[in-house]
Amino acid sequence: LDNDQPLVHVGYVIGLNYENPYINPYQEFQRFKTHPKIRSIFENGKRVSYGARALNEGGFQAIPKLSFPGGCLIGCSAGFLNTPKIKGAHTAMKSGMIAAESIFKLLSKPAKEHTRKGLEPSDYELRIKNSWLWEELYNVRNFRPSFATPLGIFGGIIYTALYFFPFRGREPFTLRNR
Q: Provide the domain limits for residue 20.
A: 1-54
Dump strand ranges (E) for 9-167: 67-68, 71-72
SS3 127: helix
What local confidence, expressed as pLDDT, does residue 113 receive? 63
Same domain, 71 and 28: no
Domain count, the chain: 3
Task: Please return the burial class of 60, using the count of CB atoms within 10 Å of its CB with bins 0-12, 13-18 and 19+.
Answer: buried
Same domain, 13 and 83: no
Q: What pLDDT, in 10s, does the model give residues 29-63? A: 999 999 999 998 888 888 888 887 777 777 888 89
Q: What pLDDT, in 10s, does the model give residues 96-125? A: 999 999 999 988 887 776 666 778 899 999
Task: Please return the burial class of 153, using the count of CB atoms within 10 Å of its CB with bins 0-12, 13-18 and 19+.
Answer: exposed
Q: In angstroms, rounded to a whole number, what is the distance separating the alpha carbons of residues 135 and 129?
A: 8
Average of per-residue pLDDT across 80-105: 93
Same domain, 38 and 90: no
pTM for the structure as a whole:
0.76
Same domain, 150 and 107: no
Same domain, 96 and 123: yes
Same domain, 6 and 45: yes
